[in-house]
Amino acid sequence: MNIRKNFLNSLIKDLEPQWREFKFIIYLLKQSPLVIAGFIIISIFIIAAIFAPWIAPYGPEERIWAEQMQPPSFKHLFGTDENGGDIFSRVIWGARIDLSIALTVVGSAAIIGSVIGAISGYMGGKIDEALMRVTDVFLAFPGLILAMAIAAALGRNLINLTIALIVVWWPSYARLIRGVVLSEREKLYVEAAKAIGAKNTRIIFKHILPNVIYPLLVNATLDLGSVILTAAGLSFIGFGAGAGIAEWGRMISDGRNYLFQAPWMATFPGLAILLSSLALNLVGDGLRDVLDPRLRR
Amino acid sequence: MKMRDYIIRRLILFLPVLLGVSMLTFTLSHLVGDPVAAYVTSEKISEERIQLIIKAHGLDKPIYIQYLYYLRDLLRGDWGISRSDSNRPVIESIRNYFPATLELTIVAMSLSLLMGIPIGIISATKKDKPIDHVVRVFALTGVSMPVFWLGLLLQYIFYYQFKVHGLPYLPLSQRIDPFIAIQHPVKQVTGLLLLDSLISLNPYAFKSALEHIIMPAFCLSYVTLALIARMMRASMLEVLRQDYIILARSKGLPEKIVIYKHALRNAMIPTVTVAGLAFGGLLSGAVLTETVFAWPGVGRWSTQAILTSDIGGIMGFTLLIAIIYVLANLIVDVLYAILDPRIRLG
């Protein structure tokens, strides 16, 4: 009992600096009204996505045939589309699709990219050279266009769209992580770990990778915004979501056909894209400013 | 290191990237299934013709030999057939559509530089004043703006609403009014409509082309404009903090000279990089913008190609954009070295 208590006490003591750092970061973040605004907006979207069945007044593909192309009113806050679908509900259901695509893409790309980047940076030599040339090739394309080509080769649906975006996004993470690993590799604590006989995998994953958490977090937050934009753009030009699916890009593409009769059809899904992406950028920018000590003036 | 050596080294690094890019498009066109598809027209053709095509492109050989054939064909200018573009050779489609895209991106890039740099400077010199806050919010929405949605918004306001209210409105889509194109045909020299109509002294066509490019060019430039303004503001603030600016001010130099003569040149360096990198975004944006405004460029051609599974067209387009993008990055690197001697010396 005593030993356990001692252990806990020493653990708490050991974590004290990290805890203080964390509290300081939160304190700094709270100083910026823009970060708070971004955080609130993105929380609203996440809550809407999770609790869509309870929040949305209608189902994602529910139609009220008698109420086609109605302008916004109390009954239909954002109006209805050409099939009598409630736009407000569809925007909420759309948050589910678009946010989960963004999370899947950024999550997978970050994991794949980190592993490859860490191996590349730590091993150095020929492996590093080869892996970096591969990332060069992927980075030689503008993101949207490479994703277009891949999605076209795989076939047009939401799953292939997600795969295509992962293929496009991993190289930037590999580059980022490689850079951090390269500079950490030379530090004394790595040498110490080597000296006591730690294996390479242990050094990479236990000692070096924890150092990349912050840059990774900043990048991932900013990327979530760009993935939402890119996915919606691809969906708009006919990839991804099929007819009738409540996905924001697809809804805008449908609304385009009725732009002058029912402008609300394209307006509200577009606002959802703009706001969610903006909120993620605000939070990401704030995180970067706070986590980079050089910018903390 | 000498400037020349630096450029040569960058050029050598450029080749493996191009090889890699071609490998990627090669792999993708094989992923689709039948690689023959990129070379045949959509009409029914005989079995013998197919066999001929297979022979000509080495499609019966092992995969690495096929790649060499593919490379040879690319260098020869045989990029396959674009089915969606009435079965034309891909190279010909590119020649047809690329000038329109080039014109749009040039105008958009100029707009973003001409507006972005002054906006950034004003924002930096008026830091924390109301105008600065407006600029910052504008710059932030820039990176989060769905371009295609912005295009629809512009169309709704400047075409539809203006027309409904009897105001002078901008044309909805296309590059030029079809009637004007028939009445006052433009002789094709460069393929850039604005330039061609100027050269051939055709004011009607020029006016129409100018009216048609305003909305798509602004729509496309928005993101880059915001990026450049943001970068310009940040680097200007950084430079204004330097000792030599304080010195210049304490010498009693007018603020105008301090900013435009001493600070601007140094603040431009990061902005040039951002502008170059933003070029990729501009090309991606062109696909969406051209779709919205029915602009007859390579972007719209590519979306047509995708909707009709025209694999020759898709891969040709992808390859073209990658080459332009890599070239643009190369130019930025060189420009950067010219602007900042520390890069080539270090």
What are the chain B neighbours of A226 within 8 Å (beta carbons)?
A: 143
Return the pLDDT at A108: 95
pLDDT digits (tens, 9 = 90+) for A159-205: 989 999 999 999 999 998 888 888 888 888 888 888 888 888 888 88
> Cβ A260–B156 below 8 Å, yes or no?
yes
Mean pLDDT along residues A231-236:
91
Return the pLDDT at A162: 93
User: What is the residue-averaged pLDDT of chain A?
Assistant: 85
Return the pLDDT at A297: 46
pLDDT digits (tens, 9 = 90+) for A84-135: 788 888 999 999 999 999 999 999 999 999 989 988 888 888 888 888 888 8
Pick the residue of A134, A141, A163 with the most B CBs within 10 A to test the interface with B by mutation.
A141
Cα radius of gyration (chain B): 24
Return the pLDDT at A294: 57
Cα torsion for B282, B288, B293, B297, to the nearest 10°? 70
- Using a 10 angstrom Cβ sphere, with 0-12 exposed, 13-18 middle and 19 or more buried, the burial of residue B54 is middle
- Using a 10 angstrom Cβ sphere, with 0-12 exposed, 13-18 middle and 19 or more buried, the burial of residue A162 is buried
Q: For residue A261, is pLDDT > 80?
A: yes
Return the pLDDT at A248: 92
Return the pLDDT at B17: 85
Of all residues in chain A, the percent with pLDDT exceeding 70 is 97
Pick the residue of A221, A229, A274, A288 with the most B CBs within 10 A to test the interface with B by mutation.
A229
With a CB-CB cutoff of 8 Å, which residues 274-303 of chain B face chain A? 280-281, 283-284, 287-288, 291-292, 302-303
Q: Complex ipTM above 0.95?
A: no
Chain A: give the shortest CA distance to residue B209, in Å. 24
- Vertex B139 angle, CA B214 and B266, to 5°: 100
Return the pLDDT at B239: 85
Return the pLDDT at B24: 87
Give per-10-residue mean pLDDT for chain B (346 aa).
75 83 85 71 71 76 81 82 80 88 91 90 84 83 89 91 86 81 77 78 83 91 89 86 85 84 81 78 86 90 84 86 85 76 58
Chain A: give the shortest CA distance to residue B124, in Å. 17
Q: Which residue has the higher pLDDT, A167 or A33?
A: A167
CB-closest option in B25, B31, B283 to A154? B31
CA gap B295, A130 in Å, rounded: 40
| DSSP 8-class letter at B37 | G
Q: What is the 3-state secondary structure (H, E, C) of A30-96?
A: HHCHHHHHHHHHHHHHHHHHHCHHHHCCCCCCCCCCCCCCCCCCCCCCCCECCCCCEHHHHHHHHHH
Cα torsion for B280, B281, B282, B284, to the nearest 10°? 90
| DSSP 8-class letter at B184 | S
With a CB-CB cutoff of 8 Å, which residues 117-156 of chain B face chain A? 140-141, 143-149, 152-153, 155-156
